[in-house]
Amino acid sequence: MKNYIKIGILMSAVVLISCDDDLSEPVVGTLTQEQVDNTPTLPIIENSVRGSYELLSNRLNILAQWDWNGGLVFQNDYILQDIASDDMEKKWNPDGDQPWIDEINNFNFTSTNGGPNGLWKYNYEAIKRLNTAIEFLNNPDIQAITGITSERKNQLLGEAYFLRSYYYFALVNNFGDVPLILAPVKSYQEAFEVAVRKDKAIVWEQIKGDLTLAKALLPNTKYSSDTEKWRVSKGAVIALLAKSALYTQDWGAVPALVDELAVLGYSLDANYFENFTSEYNDNEVIFSFDHQTNAAPVKRGNGICAPLGWGFFAPSTDFLNSFEANDPRKFYTVDPANQNVNKMLGSVNGANKGNDDAANNKVYMRYADALLWKAEALNETGDYTGAVNIINQIRQRARTTATADGTMPPAGTLPDRPASSDRATIKGWLISERRVELGFENQRMLDLKRWGIAQQVMTAHGKNFQAKHMLYPIPQSEIDASAGTLTQNPGY
Query: In sequence order, what are the residues at sequence separation of 6 or more whose Cβ sits closer than 8 angstroms to the Cβ of residue 152?
Result: none
CB neighbourhood size of 367 (10 A): 23
Residue 116 lies in a domain: yes
Residue 184, domain member (yes or no): yes
- CA 39 – CA 16 distance, rounded (Å): 18
> Residues for the chain: how many in total?
492
Residue-wise over 373-409: b if at least 16 C-beta within 10 A, else e?
bbbbbbbbeebbebbbebbbbbbebbbebeeeeeeeb
Helix (H, G, I), strand (E, B) or coil at 290: coil
pLDDT digits (tens, 9 = 90+) for 84-137: 999 999 999 999 999 999 999 999 999 999 999 999 999 999 999 999 999 999
Pick the more confident residue, 240 or 21.
Answer: 240
**pLDDT score recorded for residue 279:** 85
The pLDDT of residue 229 is 96
The distance of Cα 262 from the centroid of its chain, to the nearest Å, equals 22
Q: How many Cβ atoms sit within 10 Å of the Cβ of residue 490? A: 11
In the three-class reduction of DSSP (H, G, I as helix; E, B as strand; rest coil), residue 198 is classed as: strand
What lies within 8 Å, CB to CB, of 444 at 6+ separation is 81, 82, 85, 86, 87, 435, 438
Cite the beta strand spans of 12-165 per DSSP E.
Answer: 16-17, 88-91
How far is the C-alpha of 269 from the C-alpha of 282, rounded, in Å? 7
Among candidates 152, 166, 149, 144, which has minimal Cα distance to 53?
Answer: 166
pTM of the model: 0.94
Tell me if 420 is assigned to some domain. no
Q: Mind listing the pLDDT tens digit for each residue in 393-449?
A: 999 999 999 999 999 999 999 999 999 999 999 999 999 999 999 999 999 999 999
Residue 475 is assigned to a structural domain of this protein: no
Measured CA to CA, the distance from residue 76 to residue 220 in angstroms comes to 33
What pLDDT score does 27 carry? Answer: 35
Specify if 480 maps to a domain.
Answer: no
Is 83 within a domain?
yes
pLDDT for residue 15 is more than 70: no
- 307 assigned to some structural domain: no
Q: What is the pLDDT of residues 340-380, one digit of tens each?
A: 999 999 999 999 999 999 999 999 999 999 999 999 999 99
Helix runs in 111-199, H state only: 114-137, 142-146, 150-175, 188-194
- Is residue 47 assigned to a domain? yes
pLDDT band per the 50, 70, 90 thresholds, residue 12: very low
pLDDT in tens, 167-216: 999 999 999 999 999 999 988 888 888 999 999 999 999 999 999 999 99
Closest CA to 173 of 408, 393, 489: 489
Total domains in the fold of the chain: 1
* H or E stretch covering 315: strand 312-315
What is the rounded distance in angstroms from the CA atom of residue 439 to the CA atom of residue 442?
A: 8
- Quickly count: other Cβ atoms within 10 Å of residue 247's Cβ: 17
pLDDT-derived band at 23 (thresholds 50, 70, 90) equals very low
Coarse DSSP helix, strand, coil percentages of the chain, rounded to the nearest 5 percent: 50, 5, 45
- With 0-12 CB in 10 A as exposed, 13-18 as middle and 19+ as buried, what is 125? buried
Range of the structural domain that residue 64 is part of = 1-218
User: What is the four-CA torsion angle of 357, 361, 362, 367, rounded to 10 degrees?
Assistant: -170
Q: How far is CA 266 from the centre of its chain?
A: 20
Domain at 44, CATH number = 1.25.40.390
Q: How far apart are CA 76 and CA 416, in angstroms?
A: 36
